[in-house]
Amino acid sequence: MTRPWLLRDRRGAFGFLILSVFVACAIAAPLVTNGEPTVQRDIVATRFVPPLSRDVNGVFHPIGTDRFGRDVWTRLVYGARVSMGVGVLAVLVAVILGVVVGALAGYWRGPLSVTLLALTDFALALPRVVLLLLLAALWQPSTLLVVAVLGLTGWMGIARLVHGEVRSLAARPFVEGAVAVGARRLRILARHILPNALTPVIVAAALGVGNAIVLEAGLSYLGLGVQAPTPSWGNMITSGSDTLVNAPWVAIAPGVALVLVVVACTLLGDALRDVLDPNVRS
Amino acid sequence: MLARLGHRLLAGFAVVLGVVTLTFLLLHAAPGDPVDILLGPTATAEQLAAQRRALGLDEPLPRQFARWVGRSARGDWGTSIATGQPVAVMLGNAWPATARLVVLSLILSYLIGLAVGALQAARSGSRLDTLLSVASVTLFGIPGYWLGLMLVLVFTYWARLLPAFGIAGLDSDYLQGTSLLVDRLRHLALPLVTLTLIGIGGAARFVRGAMLETLSQPFITTAWAKGLTARRVVGRHALRNALTPVVILLGLSLPALFSGAVFVETVFAWPGVGRVLVEAVKARDYPVVMAATAVSAALVVAGNVLADVLAAWLDPRVRSGEAAQ
């Protein structure tokens, strides 16, 4: 139902197209690449092959090879799986936490609500990057930890949004109607209020995915995120930064991919906000 | 107003205390400690134990925490485990470099962002608006460290125009007057441009939105009806009223800029607080991490309070508490 609207918006169509291409490539990774993102062959003979050329064995490399002779295109596509997967999962964690906290705080007044709101405000005031650095540096860095850390530091904005929506929806006539027919509170919250409160959450999630991908790359850039040899766009930029002079393409390619995906998420979020908001549509 | 400020400061103090407690718990809950890193894998159990006793790390956690709070309340931040320097000296040396970078880029990015956003709103829907929108969304999405690397690639390696690392050249001790200033500015150029470009993206996007909202208000229609020039309507009537949310964002973006600086300082080997923090976290340097976290939490709180005060100063409705409803 929303799709025609979304695609009629140029920003939405562009964002959707870019993300579709990236997701399709990531899913079909073994088909569109050589399928071996971490395999190293004769390093000296195959390293630093420039883009659009063949190595000594006659293998074609669309964006060249890195210092270990690994195909950058293959690593980019497999890195998309990791980076985009981490981004989406982290936002999923943040959305679940944010919706639960926001809905509880918005629907049950009293000490629970006060406590949850105070907790949200406190978490919102935490310096996120410092916290990320701490959490990522202190435990053994791993992909799962990055997801948890990004999710645990990203739910507050969504909790606030949901809290506001739930509070205003709870006073609407259709909710009073549900109360009058004797529906249980949890059922009213889950069936009547939450579905109506999810619009801003979808927008925030679209914007959040881009943000999470950038932060994951930042952590990996500092050596605290996804660990080599598993390719992620962040650690590809790091390894490319060491060889910036003789093989700039190793750092350029993952950065361009990152910017494209983040821009696509932002545009999609902007378009979704305009499309899903009935005030703007009419 | 004063009561409200007092309330905010009190809440801010609680936040800083909370952050410090959380940091302390995280540091000590994580496996490994600074002594392992300091003495290396060849150290014997006796050496490790002796070093831990010397640093007071063998005491119960509540006592260690109480001692840290007591000392830092008296202005004593302790001594770095990794470098042996007093923490206050380390942060004191790093602080001006970060402040220079962050404050300058904050000013530049908001001035440029304001101009770009206002221009876009005035020419809303035009080709120029679309072009600038694409540019600001792109800048908004670029990770700072990658933009920094690309600028290094272009301006240092290819054009050979600007230095890529550090705050001053190797010969800066022998420079004087103008040449010293030029050396400093050349080193400042790339990190400052990186942080500023990213800031412009966010600022322009926000200003455009705030301006469009203001331009749709009835008093703007009145201004047009009075026959005022476009420059007066947009510049005097709309821009001034759109400024309140922008100023609030300015206060709120202070901590975000600081986080941005953490990455940018790492790329450019800029000797600021961000780099001190990253190094300290990697070395489990407890006293430095605690102090740097406390400072950055205080910065977040200060940004929030600053946004509050500025909003009240700009908007009489906020002052009287009307807008709070």
Digit-coded pLDDT (tens) for A125-159 = 777 777 778 777 777 778 888 898 889 888 998 99
- With CA atoms as reference, the chain A residue closest to B142 would be A259
Q: What single string gives the DSSP state of each residue in A102-113?
A: HHHHHHS-SHHH
Query: In chain B, pLDDT over 90 holds for what percent of residues?
Result: 20
Q: Please give, rounded to a whole number of angstroms, the shortest distance from the CA of A192 to a CA of chain B.
A: 27
Q: Does the structure's ipTM exceed the value 0.90?
A: no
Size of interface A-B (CB pairs under 8 A): 114
β-strand A60-61 against A53-54: which pairing, if any? Answer: antiparallel
- Phi, psi (degrees; rounded to nearest 5) at B291: -65, -45
What confidence score (pLDDT) does residue A233 get?
92
Record: contact A217-B143, CB cut-off 8 A: yes
B321 has a pLDDT exceeding 60 = no
What confidence score (pLDDT) does residue B35 get?
81
Q: Which of A18, A19, A124, A130 to mutate to test the interface with B (most CBs of B within 10 A)?
A: A130
Residue A252 with chain B: CB contacts under 8 Å = 150, 153
Amino acid identity of A149?
V
Q: Please give, rounded to a whole number of angstroms, the shortest distance from the CA of B234 to a CA of chain A.
A: 23
- CA gap A238, A215 in Å, rounded: 14
Q: Please give, rounded to a whole number of angstroms, the shortest distance from the CA of B178 to a CA of chain A.
A: 31
Q: What is the mean pLDDT of chain A?
A: 85
Q: What residues of chain A have any CB closer than 8 angstroms to a CB in chain B?
A: 122, 125-130, 133-135, 137-140, 210, 214, 217-218, 221-222, 237, 240-241, 244-245, 248, 251-252, 255, 258-259, 262-263, 265-267
Facing residue for B143 by CB, picked from A127, A135, A258:
A258
Instruction: List the structure tokens of B272.
Output: 């600021």
B166 Cβ neighbours under 8 A, 6+ residues apart? B187, B268, B269, B270, B271
- The residue with greater pLDDT, B14 or A58, is B14
Please name the helix (run of DSSP H) or strand (run of DSSP E) that holds residue B139, with its range, or none.
helix B127-141
Nearest to A47 by CA among A70, A27, A28, A22: A70
Record: contact B297-A135, CB cut-off 8 A: no
A273 has a pLDDT exceeding 70 = yes
A235 has a pLDDT exceeding 70 = yes
Residue B84 exposed, middle or buried by CB count within 10 Å (0-12, 13-18, 19+)? exposed
Facing residue for A248 by CB, picked from B18, B153, B262:
B153
- CA gap B210, A268 in Å, rounded: 20
Rounded average pLDDT over A159-171: 89
Facing residue for B296 by CB, picked from A127, A135, A241:
A127
Record: contact A266-B143, CB cut-off 8 A: no
Question: B283 and B37 in contact (C-beta within 8 Å)?
Answer: yes
- Phi, psi (degrees; rounded to nearest 5) at B86: -60, 140
A257 has a pLDDT exceeding 90 = yes
Q: What is the pLDDT of residues B74-120, one digit of tens each?
A: 888 888 888 888 999 998 888 888 888 988 998 999 999 999 999 99
Report the interhelical angle of B144-151 vs A199-221 (nearest 10°): 50
What confidence score (pLDDT) does residue B323 get?
43
Record: contact A210-B145, CB cut-off 8 A: no
Rounded average pLDDT over A223-231: 82
DSSP-derived 3-state class of residue A234:
helix
Instruction: List the structure tokens of A115.
Output: 């406590």
Instruction: List the structure tokens of A92.
Output: 């999923």
Q: Please give, rounded to a whole number of angstroms, the shortest distance from the CA of A247 to a CA of chain B.
A: 11
CA angle A213, A217, A17 (to 5 degrees): 40
Record: contact A127-B297, CB cut-off 8 A: yes
Cis peptide before A111 (omega within 30 of 0): no
Question: A141 and A225 in contact (C-beta within 8 Å)?
Answer: yes
- Phi, psi (degrees; rounded to nearest 5) at B320: -85, 0
Record: contact B145-A133, CB cut-off 8 A: no
DSSP-derived 3-state class of residue B79:
strand
Facing residue for B277 by CB, picked from A133, A221, A258:
A133
DSSP B67: H
B322 has a pLDDT exceeding 60 = no
- With CA atoms as reference, the chain A residue closest to B253 would be A127
B147 has a pLDDT exceeding 60 = yes
Rounded average pLDDT over B190-219: 90
Record: contact A130-B142, CB cut-off 8 A: no
Q: In the structure, what pLDDT confidence band is assigned to residue A4 with cuts at 50, 70 and 90?
A: low
Q: In the structure, what pLDDT confidence band is assigned to residue B165 with cuts at 50, 70 and 90?
A: confident
Facing residue for A214 by CB, picked from B32, B143, B255:
B143
What confidence score (pLDDT) does residue A251 get?
92
DSSP B272: S
Facing residue for A130 by CB, picked from B27, B32, B296:
B296
The half-sphere exposure of B203 on its side-chain side, counting CA atoms within 13 A, is 30
Rounded average pLDDT over B232-242: 87
Query: In chain B, pLDDT over 70 holds for what percent of residues?
Result: 97
Q: Please give, rounded to a whole number of angstroms, the shortest distance from the CA of A221 to a CA of chain B.
A: 8
Q: What is the pLDDT of residues A33-90, one digit of tens each?
A: 877 787 777 777 778 888 888 877 778 888 888 888 888 899 999 999 999 999 999 9
A150 Cβ neighbours under 8 A, 6+ residues apart? A86, A90, A93, A94, A132, A212, A215, A216
Question: A226 and A237 in contact (C-beta within 8 Å)?
Answer: no
A263 has a pLDDT exceeding 70 = yes
Q: What is the pLDDT of residues B243-265, one digit of tens each?
A: 888 887 877 777 777 777 888 89
B245 Cβ neighbours under 8 A, 6+ residues apart? B206, B210
What confidence score (pLDDT) does residue B1 get?
66
What confidence score (pLDDT) does residue A29 get?
82
The half-sphere exposure of A38 on its side-chain side, counting CA atoms within 13 A, is 8
Amino acid identity of A236?
M
Q: Which of A46-50, A101-105, B1-5 shows the lowest per-residue confidence on average (mean pLDDT)?
A: B1-5
A281 has a pLDDT exceeding 70 = no
Q: Alpha-carbon Rg of chain A, whole angstroms?
A: 22
Q: In the structure, what pLDDT confidence band is assigned to residue A3 with cuts at 50, 70 and 90?
A: low
Q: In the structure, what pLDDT confidence band is assigned to residue B325 with cuts at 50, 70 and 90?
A: very low
Residue B262 exposed, middle or buried by CB count within 10 Å (0-12, 13-18, 19+)? buried
**Torsion sign, CA atoms B83, B87, B88, B92:** positive
A217 has a pLDDT exceeding 70 = yes
Question: A69 and A46 in contact (C-beta within 8 Å)?
Answer: yes
Residue with tokens 């009835």: B218
Q: What is the mean pLDDT of chain B?
A: 85
Give the C-alpha distances (Å, rounded to integers) separating B170 from A166, B152, B183, B224: 60, 18, 10, 59
What confidence score (pLDDT) does residue A282 get?
39
What confidence score (pLDDT) does residue B324 get?
41
Amino acid identity of B6?
G
**Torsion sign, CA atoms A189, A193, A195, A199:** negative
Q: Which of A99-103, A124-128, A246-250 shows the lowest per-residue confidence on average (mean pLDDT)?
A: A124-128
Q: Please give, rounded to a whole number of angstroms, the shortest distance from the CA of B94 to a CA of chain A.
A: 17
Nearest to A130 by CA among B294, B266, B88: B294
- CA gap B305, B11 in Å, rounded: 10
Q: What is the pLDDT of residues B180-190, one digit of tens each?
A: 888 888 999 99
Facing residue for B27 by CB, picked from A126, A138, A244:
A138
- CA gap A66, A33 in Å, rounded: 15
Rounded average pLDDT over B3-18: 83
A280 has a pLDDT exceeding 60 = no
- CA gap B22, B297 in Å, rounded: 12
B129 has a pLDDT exceeding 80 = yes
